[in-house]
Structure 1
Amino acid sequence: MKQNCKLLQETFVLLLCSMALITHVGCVDKNRNLVPTAPSKNPNYWCTWYWQNYLIKKGQKVEKVDPKNIYTNQAARDQLTEETVFGPNGMAVVMLPKTRSDFYFLIDHGWQDKNIKENTFFTSILDKKDFPRYTNLSAKDRIKQMNEDIEQLGWRGLGLWFRGNKTEQEMRQMIEWSKYAGIRYWKIDGGDITHYYATKIKDVIYPELIIEHITGTGPLNSKWDTPNLNY
């Protein structure tokens, strides 16, 4: 009998606590904003790549996915222009209007000068044809001005995409340019995994630069057993 009474007492106490908790939750200000006001320190970014692919057919319904003839890398590269970034409906203008201050605006495959035939996609030279507003600026001033333009729109800053390999001397110059331009995020989408020059150099001369190496793969992780890949 005593045990039953004790059990009933404990159950009654738990019930009272639960009711008090429910009452407290119900009194919480529903207008309270739970989103932190302090900027995030994590290297969050919004990437242009999928929007570039969307623009290939200008938003038309995808009747047939054809990666060899329609949705090619080159076709997507061609969609990264001043108009698609800074125009009235440009990516940097319309995306993440309320939260972009926490995100780097990462320009992906297609921003570099396509007239450079060797190692085209591991340079810091912005294509003047695609971004004519920067035509009269030096190469390092182009990315500096673009970074400032992106920040003026409320983004955390400009992020740069790269692919390929550079010599140690070439990599040092690129990091020096990023330091000059205030670039604080790089995405290396394949390359520089033999010596990791980029990370070694930036650790010495520009530790504020965040560099992430990635190796893209399909949804089934088909390269899981390939050594020395970075995900």
Structure 2
Amino acid sequence: MRYSITVGLVALSTLAWSQKHSSLIPGTPSKADDYFCTWNIQGYLSSYVTSPAQRAEMTGDNMFGKSRFQNWVSFYPKIRKDLIFVMDDSWDIPANENSGDNKYLGWVEVDTSRFPGFTGPPNQRMSKLVNAVKAAGWKGLGGWICAQQAQLVGDNDTEMYWTQRLLTANASGFAYWKVDWGKEARNAEFRKMLTRLGRKYAPNLVIEHATNERFISIGDVYRTYDVENIIAQPTTIARIARVLKYKPEGDAKGIINCEDEPYIAAGLGCAIGVMRHPFVGNLPNGAIDFVFPPVGRNLKLRLDEVVRGVRWHRIALPFGVGSDDYKIDDQNLQDKWKVGYRDTWGPAKIGDTLKASAPARVSRGLPLPIVKSDNPARPFVLSSRYANGAIAIATIGRGLNHDYITKKVNVEQQINDVKHPIGVFGDYLSLTLILPQNTLLKGYQIWGQDLAGDTPVNITKKVIVKNNRITLPGDLIRTVGLSAKTKGDLSDPGLVLKFEKR
């Protein structure tokens, strides 16, 4: 369901926009471990015909070239400096080796047949590539890592093998290892070893783990893993809820990367692994893009929400598991998607119904939000208090039948104070912030700003303040939270609030 930004909303002309008040969003890049990953742009170029064809698209020409569907380093200009550019499967493998069992898997060296302009010893090749990506405006460069030692070296000392590659990463400034499948993918001891050696030999390198939720305890980042986009939101929320119980071991950070779900990331304190890209429409061979199908959310027309989620991390950084201060609703909501033609990359057939359930509400560091609705199509509602005191609240729409439903409801959230920024994501009938009973709210100005924009607006007169309750009408949230939207973008609203004493 879509809503017009011009009908029934607070008129933009009635709001006190300020060219003098500084932006509510810091200008310095986020320190979060957010990234853009190339796997789906590789798939798009290959029309997803085969996995080897998808791997073959991981080339320097595609990253830096100027032809159609190339120049990947030009993506996301507004947030490029906040994101690590992560090259996916086969960046480190000869261009003619694209099978899923080739002897180079796990080689972890820049391959000159894919990157012919990047020559020299391993350290030098990688340094040149890191510098080229940074020169294009990205925060850093990372890569997909097969969880195994390359077969071409035969039996070798495992720790020495990975130490050498970590030293190369450290010397070149390589920023991120996305450690995925491979012979050791589910081997906890192998992943512990990588983390331990990384701490010693490449302390600035972020090593991400996946494949088993218990691995969140042993490293910096744990990725919730691949999802089908038509049921991605409940699947991702459920996976996050399952890992909140774990405790980091030693100096592990235990940060959750919930992949390409920026509003879920904001609502639950997670990092973002962006997979969507700006090449809209059918695949080059004319077929419907079944990874980002033009039904439901139509994610490739929702790039603004990526910008908003990533820029929120300039205000509040993702935080790891380990605290017992989280709450998970006993009630689940279930999305049900009736599969149409090329809706999914999975095995489901046309007419099948895909189902995915997740807790209706999840919170971290806050009481569960109160949802004033029992409508079965009501949204998931998420909230978190971040380590620096900032608060985020998000409503997440539903995939039902064969549509994406953004059912507006009244939401209430108990908070302790208004000293810190508050992020509001999604659609609402209203959002009420409930402060302790003895809180005095007189003398405050309330500012709001679209997280995709740079100009704050004084919304004091549009917010309803009564005793210890602060109510933002849903129309106000939508007006301000979409005020910097890109033409044609379908993203839900996302804004930041700031309370200032006069």
Scaled by the length of structure 1, what TM-score is found?
A: 0.71
- Across the aligned residues of Structure 1 and Structure 2, the Cα RMSD in angstroms comes to 2.7
Is the counterpart of residue 129 in structure 1 residue 113 in structure 2? Answer: yes
CA distance in 2, matches of 1:169, 1:73: 31
Using the TM superposition, give the Cα deviation of residue 217 of structure 1 relative to its aligned residue in structure 2, in angstroms: 4.5
Counterparts of 1:211 and 1:153, CA distance in 2: 23
Q: Is the 8 A contact 2:170 2:202 kept in 1?
A: yes
Partners of 2:170 and 2:203 within 8 A in 1: no
Match of 2:15 among 11, 14, 26: 26
Alignment pair present for 1:152 and 2:135: yes
The answer to whether the aligner puts 1:75 opposite 2:53 as a matched pair is yes
Q: Confirm or deny that 1:161 pairs with 2:156.
A: no
SS at match of 1:203: helix
Which position in structure 2 is the counterpart of 1:138? Answer: 121
Q: Report the Cα offset of residue 118 of structure 1.
A: 6.2
Asked which structure has the greater CA Rg, the reply is: 1
Tell me if the contact between 1:122 and 1:162 (Cα under 8 Å) persists in the aligned partners.
yes
Cα deviations by residue, 1:188-225 (Å, 9 ceiling, x for unpaired):
0132633322100111222211111123444476xx89
Question: d(CA) in 1 for partners of 2:136 and 2:226?
Answer: 33
Structure 1 stretches of 5 or more lacking a match? Answer: 1-24, 58-66
In structure 2, relative to structure 1, the CA distance for the partners of 1:118 and 1:56 (3 Å cut) is closer
Kindly provide the amino acid, as one letter, of the partner of residue 131 in structure 1: F
- 1:156-195 to 2 correspondence within 5 Å? 156-166=139-149, 167-190=158-181, 191=185, 193-195=188-190
SS in 2 for 1:54: helix
Please list the CA deviations of residues 57-110 of structure 1 after superposition, one character each: whole Å capped at 9, or x if unmatched. 3xxxxxxxxx6xx2x221101011121101115344320112100000100012
Q: TM-score, normalised by structure 2?
A: 0.35
Distance 2:134 2:199 in 1: 24
CA distance in 2: counterparts of 1:153 and 1:119, whole angstroms: 32
- Find the partner of 1:40 among 30, 37, 50: 30
2-side partners of 1:42 and 1:93: how far apart?
Answer: 19
CA contact (8 A) 1:119 1:165 kept: no
Change (3 A) 1:163 1:193: farther
Between the aligned partners of 2:56 and 2:71, the Cα distance in structure 1 is: 15
- Pair 173,118 (structure 1): closer, same or farther in 2 beyond 3 Å: farther
Given that residues 39 and 88 in structure 2 are in contact (C-alpha distance below 8 angstroms), is that contact kept between their aligned partners in structure 1?
A: yes
Give 5+ residue unaligned stretches, structure 2: 1-13, 150-157, 212-224, 243-255, 258-502
What are the Cα deviations for residues 138-188 of structure 1, in whole angstroms up to 9, with x where unaligned?
122111110011011111011111112241111111100000111121110
Q: State the alpha-carbon separation in 2 of the partners of residues 174 and 93 from structure 1.
A: 24
Share of identical aligned residues, percent? Answer: 28
Q: Distance in 2 between matches of 1:109 and 1:101?
A: 23
1:205 partner letter = Y
SS of 2:117's partner is: helix
